[in-house]
Amino acid sequence: MKAQGPPIFTETPIMLGVEGRGLRTFANIVQRENANAYIQPIAIPYNITNKWQVGAIIPFVAITPNGMSTNSGIGDLNLFVKRQLYQIDGKAKTLRGILKITETLPTGKTSGEPLLSADAWQTNVSTANAYVTTKFGVYSEIGYTFKGNNLTDNFIYNFAFGLPLLPQKYPPKQLNVYLELNGMYEFENIGNTLFISPGLQFIAGRKFLIESGIQLPLEQSAPEGQQTDYVLRIGTRILIF
């Protein structure tokens, strides 16, 4: 099971081991019609027990609108807590689910244009579930984001399918392919955004993996001139015991 890593864009209910620690970072390269952006978050999860995990996500953001200079700095801080709801294990398979609450603090840079912070408190409540075997993995995530400062709430929905390409071995050395659907519906008549997201992941051992994926739009609610062409993600995850 360790040879099938977590999806690239979708949340996973499979947490680190007891008192496990980790580090995840990736480069998000976002190309829009009117601008491009570079986002480099650093995520640090920590297991309090095998059922409770806490963590923080600190992003560096750089946005360059067409014909304008780049504005860069630290974005909003995210704090999260995960609680395992259930874990049903069988021979070479597992079924798991978690509840996750993420609080976004308006700590990011608000000077210059464009703004790097939403300048609003945001609370996301979500659940992630997965059925994972040594042959494939199926993942789902649904959640709701409550936003302050008169921003529009949204509903998120993500689905992922993972397929290992190499024979199972220990310590793990595996190449996984993922196909994901990542969606967000914004209320107040704004509409739906949906991406299809293929990706590739290489697990080099018990503690390290590298991964890359690209999000391509199937449907967008953004107005003409502000729509996303693609989102490219390249990153790594490291377990620290």
Is residue 1 a part of any domain in this protein?
A: no
Residue 18's pLDDT is 45
4 within some domain: no
What pLDDT, on a 0 to 100 scale, did the predictor assign at position 76? Answer: 96
In this prediction, residue 206 carries a pLDDT of 77
Whether 14 contacts 130, CB under 8 Å: yes
Domain contains 5: no
Q: What is the spatial distance between Cα 178 and Cα 162, in angstroms, rounded to a whole number?
A: 4
- In the structure encoding, which two tokens stand for residue 205, read together? 């051992």
3-state secondary structure (DSSP) of residue 111: coil
112 lies in a domain?
Answer: yes
Per residue in 193-218, pLDDT (tens digit) is: 999 999 999 998 878 899 999 999 99
- What pTM was computed for the model? 0.93
State which residues form the domain around 53: 21-240
Closest by Cα among 236, 202, 234 to 4: 202
pLDDT digits (tens, 9 = 90+) for 155-183: 999 999 999 999 888 778 899 999 999 99
**Of 150, 132, 129, 126, residue with least CA distance to 140:** 129
In 3D space, the residue among 155, 142, 58 whose CA is nearest the CA of residue 100 turns out to be 142
Residue-level pLDDT at 207: 81
Placement of tokens 């609003």 in the chain? 120
Q: Which residue has the tokens 């990153």?
A: 235
* Amino acid 171: pLDDT: 78
**Distance between alpha carbon 192 and the CA centroid of its chain, in Å?**
18
pLDDT at res. 107 = 94
What the block records as the tokens of 125 is 């409540």
Name the domain count of the chain: 1
Domain assignment present for residue 8? The answer is no
Take residue 127 and report the two structure tokens written for it.
């659940």
Q: Which amino acid is at 28?
A: N
240 residue type, one letter? I
Residue 166: what are its φ and ψ, rounded to 5°? -110, 160
Q: Looking at residue 90, which CATH number applies to its domain?
A: 2.40.160.40
Q: Is residue 131 part of a domain?
A: yes
Does 217 fall in a domain? yes
Q: Point out the residues of the chain with pLDDT beneath 50.
A: 1, 18-19
Regarding beta strands 154-164 and 52-65, do their DSSP bridges make them parallel or antiparallel, or are they unpaired?
unpaired
Q: Is residue 67 part of a domain?
A: yes
Dist CA 62 CA 109 (whole Å) = 11
Tokens 């976002």, residue located: 30
Whose CA is closest to 112, among 65, 52, 164, 154? 65
